[in-house]
Amino acid sequence: MLPYFYQFETELLDRAARDSVLAIAERYQGGFEEYRSHYTDKTDNNNFLRPRSMPTLFADTGPSVKELFDSVALPHYPVILLHRPGKAVPRHVDDNNHRNAVISIPLAPKDDYPPTYYWESNDSAEPIATARFVDGNPCLLNTQKIHSLVNTAKVNRYNLQICFNEPFDAIVGHMMAGTLFKK
């Protein structure tokens, strides 16, 4: 639902490739860092695994993960996010950290993957939009709009992200023009 998110109608990685990325996340469990805002030094229950903390990502996941990242036509980088069971990520807009838009690929849980909520304001009673990751397919998320989530699952919520410095609207424009991914 533009301008908050764009739901992909198909998967970008098959289940076997996503499971191989999940295995990397579990292997490097000790490498996850809790995100701290550059502005307030607050934590928000987002835990991330940076590229340098997962040096074998492309070597250990099979060719389809590397092929996906190699096919993206714009500057980008990978991150794996972890949200622990029962934890909430409060409403926020991402810091200016080169993640103005992300393609979020669900890894776990495999069923009933908790959605991301968008809000008109920090005082809104109801979300204005909900990214539900239909059929486990990825969503392009606008991280410059107020968003939050609650991991209602009894297991860790993991996703692989393709992070862009470009604004959400520019990424959507590339997707609509068929130029986001190289042929």
Q: Give the CATH number for residue 133.
A: 2.60.120.620
Contact at 8 Å (CB) between 118 and 127? yes
* pLDDT tens readout for residues 4-51: 999 999 999 999 999 999 999 999 988 998 876 555 565 568 899 988
Q: Which of 70, 158, 65 has the alpha carbon at shortest distance from 107?
A: 158
Asked whether residue 182 is assigned to any structural domain, the reply reads no
Helix then strand then coil, in percent of the chain rounded to 5, is: 25, 30, 45
Rg of the chain in Å (alpha carbons) = 15
Asked whether residue 146 is assigned to any structural domain, the reply reads yes
What is the number of structural domains in the chain? Answer: 1
* pLDDT tens readout for residues 149-183: 999 999 999 999 999 999 999 999 999 999 999 97
Which H/E stretch holds residue 7?
strand 5-7
Is residue 125 over pLDDT 90?
yes
List alpha helices for the chain, DSSP H: 15-27, 57-60, 63-71, 168-177
Asked whether residue 183 is assigned to any structural domain, the reply reads no
Asked whether residue 154 is assigned to any structural domain, the reply reads yes
Contact at 8 Å (CB) between 44 and 92? yes
Asked whether residue 169 is assigned to any structural domain, the reply reads yes
> Rounded distance, CA 92 to CA 176, Å?
27
Contact at 8 Å (CB) between 25 and 107? yes
The values of phi and psi at residue 106, to 5°, are -65, 135
Q: Which of 84, 73, 23 has the alpha carbon at shortest distance from 48?
A: 84
Residues spanned by the domain of 103: 5-177
pLDDT for the residue 95: 78
* pLDDT tens readout for residues 58-106: 998 989 999 999 999 999 999 999 999 999 999 999 877 788 999 999 9
Q: Which of 126, 114, 122 has the alpha carbon at shortest distance from 86?
A: 114
